Structure 1
Amino acid sequence: MFRDSPFGLFLDLPTLKVQPQLLRSLMYAETDHDRDDMFIMKVNGKLLHFGIREFAIITGLKCGMDSEFVSDPDSSNRLMTRYFNGQTKVPKTMLVSLFIDFKENKSLIEDGDVFKIALLYFISTFLFSTQSNVAFVTKLHFDLVESGEYMNYPWGNVCFKNLLSSISHKLVNKPTYYRFGGFPLAIQVWFYECCSKVDPTVAKRIGNGIPRIFNWQTTSNTVYFNHLKTGMFKTYSNPVILQANYFSYINNTHFIHCFYYNANWSASTCIFVGSCFLPTFLRKRELSTFSTRGFGR
């Protein structure tokens, strides 16, 4: 069942772990900009832009038009009532405990709800990776899973915004600590893709497909900030060439305003429109809605 969900593609994800010191390096490289729709940094003399289109191609998560689904705060949710005493805000720790304890005690979750609880666990711990002891699972997520509308929901939009808000301009006041939200693997893998070569002690390329997140595998090494500072991020004599306009084959004038990415893309299921790489399942009326809105550089 999970493989048939919008998240089934991640069952085939190679070994990837978040590298906090690489993310920290990217945050130190952030420029002084006022854009709220992208993360802009300068590495080795090149400006790099990480926006929603980069996020979509890296992750394969559905992005595009916002959902019209409404979660009624005054109505109850069956899953919240059945497993969490009807709490209006469910701590992520409670969901994690239920899921883990179920492995030892199968009676904790009814057969018809196992898949739904698994979905909530995945969404809360993988797509929204804030530490479990400081976060809650929203009623919206419970309602989406219970109603089945999670299948159509643009998870990429929300994950991207969550990630962006957790890393943008967060080092200005020199905090003693910070937390990464959303889906930090997206910007991490995107940076690999921008580099002419990646330090083999950090990650290695294992493919060249879409979504791009399947192209990389992190090593078992601990990646230190000083190692990156004197290597991939060093200011002078840096051999790493950055592609300043990564994904430039997607021309802004041919970028679809309402776009969706599918894990099963291949050469046989995709077409070129101008310089834009699109899946063939997009209908003609959808192709007529190309817009540069929100994707300017």
Structure 2
Amino acid sequence: MENSTKITEFVFVAFAFPQRFQYCMFFIFLILYVLLLSGNILIMMTIRADPHLHCPMYFFLAKLSFIDLCYSSVTVPKMLADLLSDRKTISFNGCITQLYFFHFFACAECFLFTAMGYDRYVAICKPLHYSTIMNRKLCLWMVAATWTIGFVHSNIQTSLTMGLPFCGPNEIDSFFCDIPPLIRLACSDTKMIDAMIVANSGFVSLGCFLAVLFSYIGIGSTILKIRSAEGRRKAFSTCVSHLTVVTFFFGPCVFIYMRPSTALKVDRVVTVFYTVIAPMLNPVIYTLRNEEVKTSIKKVWRRGILYK
């Protein structure tokens, strides 16, 4: 790689705007990032503090909040720093490291969403066997599997990208290091690598999304058979929250990774959505549409005030 790669750093050009506009964007993204951090930390603390939320559904939700924190923190702090600087650069090794951890956490989140979909399917379609099927051991194994698959996926993606020669130019049309914009900078034929990456990232995101949709087809048919209007409302509310979050995450991922690495103007907006907006909306959606979480947050808040 040392013989074929002459580039030692990359330059981000996605947010190359006038300085005043960059400062405005900095404060907007800083507020979004603070909301993202505080919302997800609040979810994790609430689930940990309230014994009533110690069940598989909220166990997975706490893990989702943790992954969202890690996933966004790989890209957003660097983006905020770049918005305050004139030259937005990152070293070659720093770029590869960012790419590695971004795909590691993103892939883990894909499979965690799939596990959450399966949990809801068992809870609604097989309620009598729920506690037997979704026991603690299975939940731990499912979470461990998400991290393991993320590790394997990220290693494959990073290895494929590092094998490419980069001779120039070094301007990345994005605000972080991802595979599609990096492939466009390689000074060799990348058709085979492009196809392998689409097969890997594209089918991971699409496959997990379809698995969740299939589980919700079964859930929907079961909900329609529930005689109690209150039971239908509660089941529907919980599932809509999960399906909304899943759509916000998988929609942009499928759009970016299920096509060749050609540049489109809308790519910048799409990447901002699934790296910043979607992780910030996750705790909001789950909190606003879930009475149990809202009640628990109020309890934890009151308990904190009383302790003071």
Tell me if both proteins adopt one fold, taking TM over 0.5 as the criterion. no
Q: TM-score, normalised by structure 1?
A: 0.26
Structure with the higher strand share, 1 or 2: 1
Look at both structures and tell me which one has the larger radius of gyration over its CA atoms. Answer: 2
More helix by share: 2
